[in-house]
Structure formats: C-alpha cells, structure tokens
C-alpha cells in the first residue's frame, strides 16, 4: 500500500456531500479518502490522455513527422514480411 499523508483542503459543502454519498450510498470506494484518490486519479488520466492526443494531433500536421512515419512504415514493411 502506498504511504499516506494527511492534508487539509477547503471543499464546498456540495463536494463533501458528494464524496460521502459516493462512498456510502454508491459504494464507489470503501472510504471517503479512497473516493478522493479515485477521483483525482481519473482526472489525472483524463488530462494526461487529452494532452497526449493534442501532441499527436500536432505531430500529424507536421510534414517532417509525417515523412518520418512514412519512412518507418516502409522500413518495417520489408522487415515484417514472411520469407518466401
């Protein structure tokens, strides 16, 4: 189990209620702390994936990157073919 650290955050009453509800009524996680862990991890993954998608979109518009990808595809096409 990862080490834990006590922190204090100022949360809205709505957020506090929702964290409690997610844990107790919906069983999203065993504890309220675990609900927060889960929520932060999901947000982190979502934002990281969004940033990666943006980088790929930028790369796809780059003519040098596209040329390099085409060259790699040509190089791998021969290397991945079955012997005759």
Per residue in 6-44, pLDDT tens? Answer: 999 999 999 999 999 999 999 999 999 999 999 999 999
Say what the pLDDT of residue 1 is. 62
Residue 84: pLDDT over 80: no
Residue 49 to residues 38, 45, 46, 58, 61, Cα–Cα distance (Å): 16, 6, 5, 14, 19
- The pLDDT value recorded for residue 2 is 77
Residues 6+ apart with CB under 8 A from 37: 29
CA distance 80 to 36: 46
């Amino acid at each position: 189990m990862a080490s834990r650290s006590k922190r204090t955050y100022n949360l809205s009453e709505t957020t506090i209620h929702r964290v409690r509800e997610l844990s107790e009524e919906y069983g999203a996680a065993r504890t309220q702390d675990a609900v927060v862990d889960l929520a932060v991890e999901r947000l982190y993954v979502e934002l990281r994936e969004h940033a990666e998608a943006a980088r790929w979109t930028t790369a796809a518009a780059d003519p040098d990157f596209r040329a390099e990808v085409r060259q790699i595809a040509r190089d791998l096409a021969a290397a991945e073919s079955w012997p005759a």
